[in-house]
Structure 1
């Protein structure tokens, strides 16, 4: 059970955060040549597409966008569920990753395990020049030594709190909320 929670970012705040991240990506990479955005399923893909739209508007040229399905790379994958096989949605990258600057994009960074799995998925496809990380929310509590390069908002949390990112593409609403787990 969760309480009703409170809104941390509304639609305007999300748009501003993603616009800032877009500018930071362009600045850090001195343009977008050899850059590829890779959204981590599910909401990371939508965030990556929004960043790509911003970058195309700013730079006047598109940046490739792919998606990473980390299902088989998760370290907590168990086969004790009702189905014997995990559902695979596929990692789909529009270009070869070899010698590219890959920018992984996700909604919330928590323990770092999802990002580690996404890096493994990308590395199985080739050897990028570098891998960077962009997240809308960094909530802390890392279990692995992973640090984002681009952060929409730092939100220190307790382990008894949940960050919920809702996007129009999946939830018909743009907002980030924090809720407490109630017992």
Structure 2
């Protein structure tokens, strides 16, 4: 029988994002030349929330974009279905060349999603630096990828499932483990 346990509630998510916003500002000595890029789907909502907090703290806005990694996934060739992948579109409103890109996702697990996002970003330009922010790092990396900013470390077994829900699409904020 599987049990569901809340890891982060809406207040904990808010606090984690506020802390990450402060860490981004501190590490980059402000937000000049920074661009936030969320990985579809939930990463873009987290990126927008971080941008709001950064603007509240710094008094100026940071550009926010979104990247669709569908065509960059390394598991497309192993899928058993013959369906075409559903593209959701990449939209980065500014040139990322020579800028610091902060890539944002909800959960970091094997690292394959981030690797695909890195490939997609490099196709858009040559950033001076790419940093990674995640709400939850659950371990079990298959690739040498490490986040720069972490909302919460949650050691898991491979049989456990981390679920992130956000108000923008799920009507409630929370992170649970099953």
Q: Same fold (TM over 0.5)?
A: yes
The Cα shift of 1:80 comes to 3.6
Q: Distance in 2 between matches of 1:4 and 1:51?
A: 31
Q: Distance in 1 between matches of 2:91 and 2:160?
A: 32
The Cα shift of 1:170 comes to 1.0
Superposition pairs of residues 164-175 of structure 1, within 5 angstroms: 164-175=163-174
Q: Secondary structure at the match of 1:127?
A: coil
Q: Secondary structure at the match of 1:7?
A: strand
Q: Distance in 2 between matches of 1:4 and 1:73?
A: 34
Q: 1:114 — aligned with what?
A: 113
Q: Distance in 2 between matches of 1:4 and 1:166?
A: 17
The Cα shift of 1:161 comes to 0.2
Superposition pairs of residues 6-25 of structure 1, within 5 angstroms: 6-25=5-24
Q: Distance in 2 between matches of 1:73 and 1:95?
A: 21
Large movers: runs of 4+ above 4 Å:
none
Q: 2:32 — aligned with what?
A: 33
Q: 1:177 — aligned with what?
A: 176
The reply to whether residue 57 of structure 1 matches residue 61 of structure 2 is no
Structure 1 unmatched runs, 5+: none
Q: 2:67 — aligned with what?
A: 68
Q: Distance in 2 between matches of 1:143 and 1:82?
A: 26
Q: Distance in 2 between matches of 1:89 and 1:163?
A: 23
The Cα shift of 1:12 comes to 0.3
Q: Secondary structure at the match of 2:124?
A: coil
| TM-score normalised according to structure 2 size | 0.97
Aligned residues between the structures: 177
Q: 1:148 — aligned with what?
A: 147
| Cα deviation 1:77-107 (Å, max 9, x = unaligned) | 1364252x21111111010010000000000
| Cα deviation 1:10-68 (Å, max 9, x = unaligned) | 00000000000000000000000000000000000000000000000000011000001
